[in-house]
Each structure stands twice: as C-alpha cells, then as structure tokens.
C-alpha cells in the first residue's frame, strides 16, 4: 500500500504539472496564436490543414464568431448561426464543416482536436515500461487517469457549461458532470476562463498551475466581475468570496 501511495502521489504531481504546462503552452502557441504567427500558420495550411483547422475552430470560431452578443449565448438567433455556416461552407470542404459543427464551433473538440489534448496522457503510458510490478503499474495508471486528464475533461465536457449561466448549468448538466460544474474548482476555472475571453493572451489553463508560474494568469477587473454577475456567469456570492484574491484556488 505504501509503495502504491508513494508512486501514485509522485507520478500524480508530475503528471498534473506536465498537463497544466502542456495546456498553457499549446494554447499560447497553437490555439490562441498572435496575429503575426497566425499569418504563418495560414500560409502553411495547405501542408498542415488539420493544424490550421484546430486553430480556426478554437480561435476564430469559438473566440470571435460565436458568443458575440453574450458570453452565455452562442448565437443571438438561428439566422446568426445560418450566416456562420454559410461562411464555413464557402471556406471549407463538407467534411470539415461537419467537424466544426460537431465541435459546436470550438466549444468542444473536432476529431483531430482531441490529439493535442491527448498527447501528455498517452505519453505518460511510456512510464509503464520503466516501473516494475503490478503495484507500480497500477499507481502510474491511476495517477495518469486522475491527474493528467482534468484539462481534457474540462475542455471537452465542462467548457460548454462554462458558457452557460451558472444556475442554468447547475440545472441542465447531467449527473455526474453537474457535480463537477458546480464545484469550487469549476467556479474558479469559470471565472478564469471568462477573463481568457476578454484577453486571449491570459488564463489559458482549465487545469490550474502553469499560467501562474508563467506569469500568464490575471484576476478579473472590477468591470469584469460586474459583467460576470450581470450575465449570470457566476452568482453574487462567488464574487463576494473570490474578488481580490491573488489566485482563485483557495475556497476548498
């Protein structure tokens, strides 16, 4: 049991930090590229269409072509969605348009969009060739499952609910996702992610840690707190509990 705990905690800490770092870095250098770097990616899109499409799905569609009139409503009307689909049909082949519609315009993943999120989780399995015996193997597998996957789970399943009003998400998310969505951790991430949409060069992480040590995390401004409460992204009690904190990972 002691052997399991030592390996589980050691690998767990390493896997958590590694996933958080990876998430922060690939958001900065792929999903949320600066306009200058986006121009480079655009030029090579013929040779690497999947990479361009992953970027487009997140940055163009999720950040700029949806949630335009409200942070908590993807489209103001069916006409707005139809207009976007008409633009996509002109720019992409039918299969890619279908993928982007399935990803809910970047609110979750396209098929290829799973790959960058899965990379650290899969690479961690390489440790199975290094450790010895069933106890150590079980510890590595459990650590990978629990500590390397939160950013994947949040990005694929929790993120769409972070763009819903808090009270609505608490009512409509299926159990057990509802427990995650309403947890203090997810409230902190929801606030952090709101800031990411105000300033896409900050708060990349849905799995906390790396943004903070990389100097890429910032707290909401007073106006942003007010807007979050006004739009129902958070409840007034969340603002009371968390406003002014240097980091939001406290109320546990």
Residue 224 in contact with Zn ion, rule: CB under 5 A:
no
Closer residue to Zn ion, CB minimum distance, 148 or 233:
233
Tokens matching residue 156: 């694929």
Closer residue to Zn ion, CB minimum distance, 32 or 224:
32
CA dihedral sign, ordered 116, 121, 127, 128: negative
Residues, the chain, total? 252
The 3-state DSSP class for residue 70 equals strand
**Span near Zn ion by CB under 5 A; candidates 26-34, 95-103, 150-158, 177-185:** 26-34
Write down the least CB distance from residue 39 to Zn ion, Å: 18
- Please, are residues 25 and 154 in contact by the beta-carbon 8 Å criterion? no
Write down the least CB distance from residue 7 to Zn ion, Å: 34
Closer residue to Zn ion, CB minimum distance, 59 or 124:
59
**Span near Zn ion by CB under 5 A; candidates 27-35, 130-138, 167-175, 235-243:** 27-35
Closer residue to Zn ion, CB minimum distance, 20 or 136:
20
In sequence order, what DSSP letters do the residues of 150-193 get, joined into one string? HHHHIIIIIHHHHTS-HHHHHHHSPTTHHHHHTSHHHHHHHHHH
- Please, are residues 34 and 163 in contact by the beta-carbon 8 Å criterion? no
**Span near Zn ion by CB under 5 A; candidates 31-39, 76-84, 179-187, 233-241:** 31-39
Closer residue to Zn ion, CB minimum distance, 12 or 116:
116
**Contact code string over 74-103 relative to Zn ion, x by CB under 5 A:** ------------------------------
Rg of the chain over all Cα atoms, to the nearest angstrom: 19
Q: How far apart are CA 140 and CA 128, in angstroms?
A: 7
Residue 23 in contact with Zn ion, rule: CB under 5 A:
no
Q: Which of 16, 22, 24, 32 binds Zn ion (CB under 5 A)?
A: 32
Residue 211 in contact with Zn ion, rule: CB under 5 A:
no
Q: How many helical (H) and strand (E) elements, i.e. helices and strands, does the chain have?
A: 15, 0
Binding site for Zn ion (CB under 5 A): 32
């Amino acid at each position: 049991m002691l052997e399991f705990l030592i390996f589980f905690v050691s690998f767990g800490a390493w896997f958590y930090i590694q996933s958080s770092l990876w998430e922060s870095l690939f958001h900065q250098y792929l999903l949320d590229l600066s306009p200058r770097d986006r121009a480079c990616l655009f030029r090579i899109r013929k040779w690497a269409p999947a990479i361009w499409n992953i970027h487009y799905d997140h940055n163009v569609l999720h950040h700029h072509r949806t949630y335009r009139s409200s942070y908590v409503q993807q489209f103001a009307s069916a006409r707005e969605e139809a207009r976007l689909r008409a633009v996509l049909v002109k720019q992409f082949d039918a299969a890619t348009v279908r993928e982007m519609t399935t990803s809910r315009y970047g609110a979750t993943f396209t098929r290829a969009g799973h790959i960058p999120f899965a990379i650290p989780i899969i690479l961690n399995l390489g440790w199975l060739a290094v450790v010895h015996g069933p106890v150590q193997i079980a510890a590595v597998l459990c650590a990978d499952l629990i500590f390397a996957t939160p950013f994947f789970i949040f990005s694929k399943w929790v993120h769409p609910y972070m763009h819903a009003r808090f009270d609505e998400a608490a009512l409509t998310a299926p159990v057990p996702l509802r427990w995650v969505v309403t947890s203090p951790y997810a409230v902190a991430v929801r606030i952090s992610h709101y800031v990411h949409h105000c300033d896409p060069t900050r708060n990349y992480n849905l799995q906390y840690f790396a943004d903070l040590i990389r100097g890429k995390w910032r707290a909401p401004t007073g106006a942003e707190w007010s807007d979050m409460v006004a739009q129902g992204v958070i409840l007034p009690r969340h603002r009371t509990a968390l406003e002014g904190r240097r980091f939001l990972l406290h109320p546990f």
